[in-house]
């Protein structure tokens, strides 16, 4: 067998004593009936005329929506992929040297030939490696001192709080699926609250967040504390916020405390009346009854940012009257996502809920709430009031500081 192979190779060399070099090929010239060594065509082109007695190889560019990726001696280019498959988007457009490249949409990855959702990590496990268009989420059990309470393909394990650093006592130790519970968390910014709140104020949070974003967020909280007119807020009441809250959260709490301490001031009453009117509208829009746990979980799953765990939603259902469920759910979400805009989050959530087949009355209710909170004229009015008050302290001359 080996002798036959060697004989065949020797015969081929005798016919073609010159071996083809890189990017060359043998071609039978029909005009002379002789084999000639031709140059291949580069990527982006195809052979228009093979080399021969008339001259070298002639290459022509690939037509539109056609390509060739490598050097070759073919007389045609390949046709570009026309459309991407379901759950795919175009990562790179087709050109003369590359085919159109598709990849799975965010939240999905390619398995065999189909895009499938990234697997969520259950409570107690966090995402150690986020999913990509080519790979699934990698989940790992939260190590000691860390936890994850959500069912999410993106949330990582986060550390338990240290109650002693907050000046609090620990009531319940944390687990891999639940944070530590500290005593007296009224001003805590972590947002782990499941009891039914009577002071849910989404409008106030939206307004104060708007105020603190462009104009006040860059102001040190100490300076703002001294600059606000009217009665001063006792720093002892907000001192521990510096240990647990972001600068923006500190400002939100400070504005709330300041508002409560100066609510009898004439100019500030306009703000309080406007907030109260907004809150009454929100409560009317949110007063849906007989929502199921599945409905509330669907709402929470549609909102961006850090999600409230299903166990906390279940506790809410058992604790609060049914007409308060939506309002309380948004309150819990807001405490976990203090940097997020409530109105924008609801608009984003509505787009997702429509695709999830949410009940029509639920969609209508959330749409009304987002409209109430997103009234830009209201935000501009309150911004003007606050900035004017800070710039002109004479409007509070009737009340002595620290009265």
CB distance 337 to 287 below 8 Å: no
Task: Write the DSSP assignment of 329-346 as a string of letters.
Answer: HHHHHHHH-TTS-HHHHH
DSSP state of 70: S
Q: What's the pLDDT band for 170 if we cut at 50, 70, 90?
A: confident
Task: Match 């394990």 to its residue by tokens.
Answer: 157
DSSP state at residue 152: B
Q: For the chain, what are the domain ranges? A: 23-84+91-99, 106-184, 191-393
Q: CB neighbours (10 Å) of residue 335? A: 19
Instruction: Give CA–CA dist 184/187, Å, rounded.
Output: 8
pLDDT tens digits for range 317-369: 777 777 788 888 888 887 777 667 777 888 888 888 888 888 888 888 888 88
**Domain 23-84+91-99 -> CATH class:** mainly beta
> Angle at the Cα of 351 (from 292 to 125), degrees rounded to 5?
65
Percent of the chain with pLDDT over 70: 66
- Tell me whether the CATH fold assigned to 23-84+91-99 matches the one assigned to 106-184: yes
Distance of CA 313 to the CA centre of its chain: 21
pLDDT digits (tens, 9 = 90+) for 103-151: 998 889 988 788 888 988 888 899 999 999 999 999 999 999 998 887 7
Alpha-carbon gap, residue 288 to 334, rounded angstroms: 19
Query: Residue 289 and residue 275: Cα distance in Å, rounded?
Result: 25
Tell me the C-alpha distance between 153 and 108, whole Å: 10
Tell me the CATH architecture of domain 106-184.
Ribbon (2.10)
With beta carbons less than 8 A apart as the criterion, state whether 68 and 43 touch.
yes
3-class state of residue 72 by DSSP: strand
CA neighbours closer than 13 Å in the CB half-sphere of residue 371: 9
CA 50, chain centre distance (Å)? 55
């Amino acid at each position: 067998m080996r002798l036959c192979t060697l004989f065949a190779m020797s015969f081929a060399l005798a016919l073609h004593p010159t071996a083809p070099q890189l990017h060359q090929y043998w071609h039978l010239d029909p005009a002379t009936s002789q084999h000639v060594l031709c140059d291949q065509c580069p990527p982006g082109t195809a052979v228009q005329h093979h080399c021969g007695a008339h001259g070298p190889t002639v290459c022509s560019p690939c037509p539109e929506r056609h390509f060739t990726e490598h050097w070759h001696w073919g007389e045609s280019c390949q046709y570009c992929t026309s459309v991407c498959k379901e759950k795919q988007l175009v990562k790179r457009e087709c050109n003369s040297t590359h085919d159109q490249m598709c990849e799975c949409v965010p939240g999905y990855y390619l398995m065999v030939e189909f895009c499938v959702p990234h697997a969520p990590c259950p409570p107690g496990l966090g995402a150690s490696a986020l999913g990509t268009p080519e790979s699934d989420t990698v989940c790992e059990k939260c190590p000691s001192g860390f936890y994850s309470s959500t069912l999410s393909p993106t949330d990582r394990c986060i550390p338990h709080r240290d109650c002693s650093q907050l000046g609090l006592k620990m009531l319940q130790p944390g687990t891999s699926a639940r944070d530590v519970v500290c005593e007296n968390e009224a001003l805590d910014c972590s947002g782990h609250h499941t009891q039914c709140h009577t002071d849910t104020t989404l409008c106030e949070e939206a307004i104060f967040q708007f105020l603190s974003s462009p104009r006040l967020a860059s102001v040190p909280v100490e300076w703002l504390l001294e600059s606000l007119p009217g009665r001063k807020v006792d720093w002892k009441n907000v001192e521990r916020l510096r240990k647990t809250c972001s600068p923006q959260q500190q400002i939100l709490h400070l504005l709330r405390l300041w508002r409560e301490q100066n609510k009898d001031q004439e100019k500030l009453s306009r703000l309080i009346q406007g907030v109260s009117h907004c809150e009454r509208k929100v409560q009317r829009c949110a007063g849906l009854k007989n929502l199921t746990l599945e409905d509330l979980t669907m709402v929470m799953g549609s909102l961006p940012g850090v999600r409230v765990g299903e166990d906390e939603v279940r506790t809410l259902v058992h604790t609060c009257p049914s007409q308060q469920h939506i309002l309380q759910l948004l309150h819990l979400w807001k405490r976990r996502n203090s940097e997020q805009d409530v109105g924008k989050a609801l608009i984003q959530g509505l787009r997702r809920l429509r695709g999830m087949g949410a009940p029509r009355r639920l969609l209508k209710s959330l749409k009304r709430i987002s409209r109430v909170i997103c009234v830009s004229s209201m935000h501009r009015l309150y911004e003007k009031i606050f900035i004017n008050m800070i710039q002109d302290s004479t409007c509070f001359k009737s009340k002595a500081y620290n009265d």
